[in-house]
Amino acid sequence: MKLKEFLDSSYTAYHATANACEILREEGFTQLILGDSWHLERGGSYFVTRNGSSVVAFCVGQNNVFNLAVSHTDSPSLKIKGNRLIESDGLLRLNTEKYGGGLLYSYFDRPMKVAGRVLVQSSDGVEQQLVVSDYDIVIPSLAIHLNRQSNETPPLNLQTDLIPLFGQGEADLYASLTDEHVLDADLYVVPATEAFESGVHGEFLSSARIDNLTSVYASLYALVDAEPQDIALVACLDNEETGSGTRQGAPSFLRQVLDSIAGALEFTRTDIAYAAENGMVLSVDNGHAVHPAHPEKHDPLYKCRMNGGIVIKHHVNYATDGLSAAIVKRLLDDLQLPYQDLYNNSELSGGSTLGLVTARELGMKTCDIGIAQLAMHSACETCGVEDIDVMQRCLTAFLSATIAGVNSITVK
C-alpha cells in the first residue's frame, strides 16, 4: 500500500488499524487472538489487535530481548455525540465534541467525512462495521461581513461554531451510513482532503493525519523489511491523543501482548527481566519543524528542519535521556543517516507522546524520535518527503539490531 493511499483511507484509528492488518496479512504475518493459547516459532511473524483500533505486530528472533517501536493510530478530530441532529433555522447539524487537541480553525470550509465504526445487531449479538460517508460535509465559517471587529479568527465555541452542516430536510445519520440496525457507534468528523506533494520540487508532503500515521506506516514496513535477532515489535496504539487511558491504549494492551509472548516462549521471571533490561523502545511521533513565519517559537540553538533527518526529542514530557539518545545516534551514524536534536523553546511545553507511558509501564530504555513537520494537528499538515524514507530505514535497522548493554550496539 502506498503512503498516500494509507493516509487518505485511514480516516480514523479503526481504518488505520484495518489498513495495517491488510499490510501485515499480505506480508505473511499470522493473526493471533489475545487470550488464546499462543504457539510461537523462532523466525515467525505475528500480529494481534484489540478493539479494531490498535494492533501490535512482532517477529520472533533468536534472542530473548524486546525491541519495540511504538506509534499511535488516532488523530485529533471531532467526535459525534449520538444520532440526534441539531435543527438550526431549517438546517440540520451534527452534534460534536472535540477529540484530542486539534487546530480547530483549520477545520472550517473544507471537505470533511463522517467516519468510524457502527455496532449493528447481528444474529450472534453485536457486529462491528467500518463506515465512511459517501458524501462530504462542511463546517461553514462566519463571513467577514458578519465579523467586522477583526480579520482574525474569533474565539471558537465548541458547541456552536464547530458543529458541522449535515443537510437540509429529513435525514438520519446512522441511516446515511448503513442499512443495518445500529445499536451504537464511534463516529468522527474528519478531514477528507487527499494527500498531495507540495513545494516547487515536490519536496514536501501535505495531508491530514501526517501526525502520526507516517510513523505507523514507516514502522509497519520497517518490520516487514527487518531481520530481527531479538523479538522485534511494532505497536500502533489508539487513544494517545486523549492520554492512552483505555484498554486499547499503550499500558494495558502492550503489557498483555508482552506477557503473552513471554508465556508462549516459556520465559522465566529472570528471562522477562532480561528481555526488558536489554531491549529498548523507540517512541515514534513527529516533532515541530521550525516555522518560517515564527522562528522565535523555537529554541534559538535547536531548530529542526523538514528533510533534515530523524528528530531526537528532548524534554521532560519525553522519555529520551542521554543514554537512549546516544544509542540512537550511534545507530544512525553507522547507517550514515542524518539526525537533529529537538529542544523546545523554554517558554513553551511540547506535547506528550507514548514514550513516558511506555517507559513507566515497561521499565525499558526509551527514546522519543520522529520526523519534523509543520502545522501539527491541523486538518492539513506538512512534512518532508525524504524524511519518511529515512525514518523507515532507521526503524528497519533498529528492529534488526541487537542492543548489548549500556556501552555498545551492534547492527546487522
The CATH number assigned to the domain holding 178 equals 2.30.250.10
- Which uninterrupted H or E stretch holds 279? none
- CA neighbor of 345 nearest in space, from 310, 300, 376: 300
Number of domains in the chain: 2
Sheet harboring 91-99: ordered strands across? 125-132, 112-122, 182-191, 77-88, 91-99, 165-168
Query: What pLDDT is stored for residue 152 in this prediction?
Result: 63
Query: What pLDDT is stored for residue 408 in this prediction?
Result: 52
Query: What pLDDT is stored for residue 362 in this prediction?
Result: 92
- CA neighbor of 112 nearest in space, from 380, 381, 383: 380
Cα-flanking dihedrals φ and ψ of residue 189, to 5°?
Answer: -100, 120
Does residue 40 contact residue 264 with C-beta atoms inside 8 Å?
yes
Query: What pLDDT is stored for residue 8 in this prediction?
Result: 98
Residues 179 and 112 in one domain: yes
What's at 80, amino acid-wise?
Answer: I
Does residue 205 contact residue 381 with C-beta atoms inside 8 Å?
no
| DSSP SS3 for 349 | coil
Q: Which three cell numbers stand for residue 265?
A: 516462549
Separation of alpha carbons 309 and 396, rounded Å: 15
Question: CATH number, domain at 330?
Answer: 3.40.630.10
Which of 9-13, 143-147, 220-224, 405-409 has the weakest average pLDDT?
Answer: 405-409
Query: What pLDDT is stored for residue 411 in this prediction?
Result: 55
Q: Give the contacts of 110 (CB within 8 A, at least 6 positions apart).
A: 138, 191, 192, 193, 379, 380
Q: Which three cell numbers stand for residue 41?
A: 516459532
β-sheet bridge partners, residue 29:
none
Does residue 396 contact residue 67 with C-beta atoms inside 8 Å?
no
Residues 291 and 229 in one domain: yes
Cα-flanking dihedrals φ and ψ of residue 217, to 5°?
Answer: -60, -50
Separation of alpha carbons 18 and 13, rounded Å: 9
Q: Which three cell numbers stand for residue 195?
A: 494527500
Residues 47 and 158 in one domain: no
- Residue 18 pLDDT > 90: yes
Residues 318 and 397 in one domain: yes
Q: What does the DSSP 8-state code read for residue 52?
A: T
Q: Measured at the alpha carbon of residue 411, what is the angle toward residues 20 and 21, in degrees to the nearest 5?
A: 5
The residue range of the domain holding 52 is 3-75+208-410
- Residue 264 pLDDT > 80: yes
Q: Which of 191, 226, 255 lies at the terminal end of a domain, its last residue?
A: 191
Residues 159 and 213 in one domain: no
Structural domain contains residue 203: no
Stated pTM of the model: 0.96
Structural domain contains residue 137: yes
Residues 149 and 246 in one domain: no
Query: 327 falls in which pLDDT band (50, 70, 90)?
Result: very high
Any idea which residue has 522562528 for its cell?
Answer: 295
Q: Which of 162, 191, 220 lies at the terminal end of a domain, its last residue?
A: 191
CA-based torsion, 117, 120, 126, 127: positive or negative: negative
- CA neighbor of 16 nearest in space, from 196, 281, 215: 215
Residues 368 and 347 in one domain: yes
Residues 252 and 134 in one domain: no
Structural domain contains residue 67: yes
Percent of the chain with pLDDT over 90: 88
Give the pLDDT mean for 107-119: 98
Which of 47-51, 232-236, 357-361 has the weakest average pLDDT?
Answer: 357-361
Structural domain contains residue 297: yes
- Residue 412 pLDDT > 60: no
β-sheet bridge partners, residue 197:
205
Does residue 224 or residue 146 have the better pLDDT? 224
